[in-house]
Structure 1
Amino acid sequence: MYKILMVDDDFEVLQINKKFFEEKECEVRICNKPAEAMDIVQKFKPDCILLDVMMPEIDGYTLCRKIRVKTDVPILFLSGKVSEDDKVEGFEAGGDDYIEKPYSLREVYMRIVANIRRNSHKNTGRNNSLVIDLGQFSLDKEKHKLFYEDEEIIISNKEYDLMLFLAENANKEITFEEIGVRLWGTYIESDRRNVMVNVSRLRKKIQDKTGVDNLIETVWSKGYKLIKHN
């Protein structure tokens, strides 16, 4: 049984979603007052949190940042704000997924399950025993960190997951769909934008820190390829 917290100022939407997820045998808490969400997070200890973006008093991005200080459970945005800048802000705030409205509740549930399982797997340390050597770059699977020589490049959890997948397949072409399935457990064509946003953000952090602008190459109309730097 998964414990899910949903935060949205639309109480009717919360009730509909709550009924659906309870039919999936989830334990659900709903909150239509964002200012009260932090207290629920601390007491309820959810396995996954769903956030709307446009809410009074505290917007979803700000609330996500506050929650992220307290817990590393998956946070999924459900929003009608769907520009690239909106998604970048959501991922920068610490979100693990960004789902556009209108959405399928069945798909949302699949993404919830995939993110919870991935987070649980990551925390068990079952695949955290090695450092992936990428020449000048390295990925520490135990510490979940990316390094350029001996200097850390600060990246988010989702950026780490992306970097890990590309690093495990260095010098191989990886499709948008393969990346989407790895990061979110499912993929539809609109997810291509989410993949592109995350890659763009990861590239910028790498370039800003190291000056290297060709670690992750675009494979035109197909996906990406990480180039190992000796």
Structure 2
Amino acid sequence: MSRILLIDDDEHLAAPLATYFARFDCVLDSATRPSDGLAKLRAAHYDAAILDVMLPEMDGFALCRAIRAESDIPIVMLTARGDVMDRVVGLELGADDYLPKPFEPRELVARVQTILRRQRKPTVPAATPQRLVFDGLVVDLDRREVLRQGERVELTGTEFELLALLARQPGKVWNRDDILNQLRGQEAELYTRAVDIVISRLRKKLEPLDCIKTLRNAGYALAVAP
């Protein structure tokens, strides 16, 4: 059974959502203040966190940054409808997904289930090599671990899946739509800027290696020698 933490100051939201999540074998805990949410994340194990952008004490972006400093737990952010900048900033800070408010509970459950499946599913069939080794870079698909020049790199689930996708077929050019569909496992309405943001995060974490190449009007490819 998955445990999810909702951090949202709407006191009327948690109870009906918890009832709905329970139908999908998920326990939804909640906190109305970021400080309480951080305390719960530190005190117990959660499989994912859902953060509202508009919060007391600190906004959802600052909270996302604080969580990312301590954990790679999957994060879904709840953003204002139509506010693209909220989505961009959240993804840049390390969120795995976003959902505009108001939302349907079933869609929120679906988004959470998708990122949980990405975390738990076998990355590749057993016959496929589990450890992909390149010049200065190792992607361990079984342990979900990345080594950059021998040093372990902390990646979010989405960052790891994107890097693993490129690493399985080095040199292959993936366009943004194909990447989005591979990461989500389904067709989804998500602006392509999200891929650019995750690629940017990956590049920063993999520096000084220059692993990911951009091909104008085509997409992205892993360009590092085996």
- CA, structure 1 residues 168+106, in 2 after alignment: closer, same or farther (shift >3 Å)? same
Structure 1: distance between partners of 2:20 and 2:34: 22
Contact 2:72–2:155 (Cα < 8 Å) also in 1 = no
Deviation at 1:50, TM superposition (A): 0.6
Report the equivalent of 1:87: 90
Deviation at 1:218, TM superposition (A): 3.2
Name the CA distance, whole Å, in 1 between partners of 2:8 and 2:136: 44
Distance change in 2, residues 1:85/1:181 (3 Å): closer
Amino acid at match of 1:156: L
In the TM superposition, residue 209 of structure 1 has moved relative to its aligned partner by: 1.8
Amino acid at match of 2:120: S
Q: Give ranges in structure 2 of 5+ residues lacking alignment.
A: none
Question: 1:196, CA displacement in angstroms?
Answer: 1.9
Contact persistence 1:73–1:119 (CA under 8 A) = no
Using the TM superposition, give the Cα deviation of residue 163 of structure 1 relative to its aligned residue in structure 2, in angstroms: 0.9
Tell me, yes or no, if the aligned pair for 1:173 and 1:219 is still in contact at 8 Å.
no
Q: Is the 8 A contact 1:162 1:183 kept in 2?
A: yes
Aligned-pair distance for 1:129? Answer: 6.8
* 1:24-63 paired onto structure 2 within 5 Å: 24-43=24-43, 45-63=45-63
Q: d(CA) in 1 for partners of 2:57 and 2:221?
A: 42
Superposed displacement of residue 132, structure 1: 1.4
CA contact (8 A) 1:153 1:209 kept: no
Cα offset, 1:79, TM superposition: 1.6
Rounded to whole Å, the distance in 1 between the matches of 2:224 and 2:71 is 33
* 1:7 shift after superposition: 0.8
Q: Give me the TM-score of the superposition, normalised by structure 1.
A: 0.75
Match of 1:57, as an amino acid?
E
Tell me which amino acid in the other structure corresponds to 2:89. Answer: D
**Greater helix content:** 1
Cα separation, 2, equivalents of 1:105 and 1:223: 33
Query: What amino acid maps onto 1:90 in structure 2?
Result: L
Partner of 1:218: 215
Q: CA deviation at 1:177?
A: 3.4
> How far is 1:28 from its partner?
1.7
Going from structure 1 to structure 2, the CA distance change for 1:138 and 1:33 (only over 3 Å counts) comes to closer
Matches within 5 A, 1:35-184: 35-43=35-43, 45-68=45-68, 71-80=71-80, 82-83=84-85, 85-91=88-94, 95-121=95-121, 130-135=130-135, 137-141=137-141, 142=143, 144-147=145-148, 150=149, 152=151, 154=153, 156-157=155-156, 158-184=158-184
Conserved in 2, the CA contact under 8 Å of 1:48 and 1:73? yes
Q: Check 1:4–1:154 CA distance in 2 against 1; reply closer, same or farther (3 A cut).
A: closer
Quickly say closer, same or farther: Cα 1:54–1:151, change in 2 above 3 A: same
SS class of match (1:76): strand
Tell me which residue corresponds to 1:13. Answer: 13
Q: C-alpha deviations, 1:36-71, integer Å up to 9, x for none? A: 113333455322211112211022233334444665
1:23 aligns with 2:20: no
Using the TM superposition, give the Cα deviation of residue 31 of structure 1 relative to its aligned residue in structure 2, in angstroms.
1.7
Q: How many correspondences in the alignment?
A: 219
Amino acid corresponding to residue 82 of structure 1 in structure 2: V
Does the CA-based 8 Å contact 1:139-1:164 persist in structure 2? Answer: yes
Q: Is the 8 A contact 2:114 2:184 kept in 1?
A: yes
Name the counterpart of 2:208: 209
**RMSD, matched Cα:** 3.3
Structure 1: how far apart are the matches of 2:128 and 2:65? 26
